[in-house]
Structure 1
């Protein structure tokens, strides 16, 4: 009976994500048979939970729109994920450390002893490697204000500070928040500029709510993540490396922007070429990064970077010989 209750509780938590899943998919997640899944669904229905059966292509089972889950339904995997998230969120959001610590303590107190031991095993300390230059922590209130405008489909007024620029007042249609390469971006349509923009959240200062509705548009590429990843003009700044250089690559800016390391700048030159400015801990390090694009290089600056490429060529010739 205990195993059955635990399995039914996990099934309820799976339904809590809002997805429609087939009996076969549910059986795989629970590690049981389809017959057992259907029996557990009947159990949940007897307990008063509205579990809908969706027919046709893409059908399966889902939680009904009026169904309400218990206040906390965590299995051990969810408890670990939540504990790790609460420990790492202060690294990307400022003004939230104390609240995250209190939430983590509350979570630990509400867990059964076994789940608490699993969660406490994941004590996270932050570290940075040579290639990681995340943005400064973002004010949690800014994320709350912008996220609320996205959910309500309301225009948002912000002050946006570009690299080395004064803040510019903008009125935006906010569509999505994207976290990519340790940075938060807002995908928005700039009404004054009549263009889509990927904007660094750490450079945004939100004003009071406008309460002005707007209709959602189709995002370029049909996906906010793809748009941010391929947008050369996303407000990134050149990271403070010991060595910094640049070169023109025979590749489109969108291609280079997708694979350029964090803390680099991509500028479109023509439809088929762009300029990449980047840094590393050594000149050969920059040279090696440029070579990974497997494209012709021109206008290489500075002289130290050109010398590093000459040295690498000599070493490669010797190695091949």
Structure 2
């Protein structure tokens, strides 16, 4: 028999998942009598939840928004989900970092020890900016499994797609891997595991959605120090294709466009006002061709300031686009 508290939590969780709940259906889902449902609804009302009775042959209930915030009740998965969201709050860029830290501390203080143990394992680093693509769905169980291995310092044994099979439609070839898990990273709508690959003897970033963990885990290990000692800096550098947190190729152009029109799309580049109609943009990328193409998104006349490699990349792109236009589909007159 469930305790009153756990039963109230289950009832509230059900009321939050749909607009109207027939009373008999709630009783069936909770394995209690309709009379107990009515008593539990009254208890929730006393706690500040606005629950309306709905009319009909069976009667039912609806959870409405209130004028004040009542005590919040979360089940285990909801609690962990909130904790992950709060750790990822800095990526939102809405100035709520301090409030998120305080909210996370409050939740941790009142949660039961079994959940606090899971929460402490979920140490997440967020690398990215507002406007990133929609996230790829990752199951909470997968994140918790990886987080527990990080906390317990257990070697991960898992299957992972071969690099050459990632971008094909064929069933990917999974290869066994062994890694010392170090940190969970959220970036650009995706989740990654930063770990030391025991076979390749190097730091690697693994896409969490591609990890197929094996059980049991391997032996315990002594954690290594990430190069430079800063996970954010190290991961950001890896995303830029360099050992330092800076792009391998950097260049500057003068755009015949006001700075105010360039700033929203400059990313991590530096915009400098020249006059009301012109500005310079210094930016970086993993290759000269990619950098030249990124400048082209503004679709305005521009002048290359430097370096010469950037000017050469523009010339290469211009010829490539010209050749593409010539070999495009024929048009009828």
Provide the TM-score with structure 1 as the length reference: 0.39
Larger of the two Rg values belongs to structure: 2
Provide the TM-score with structure 2 as the length reference: 0.38
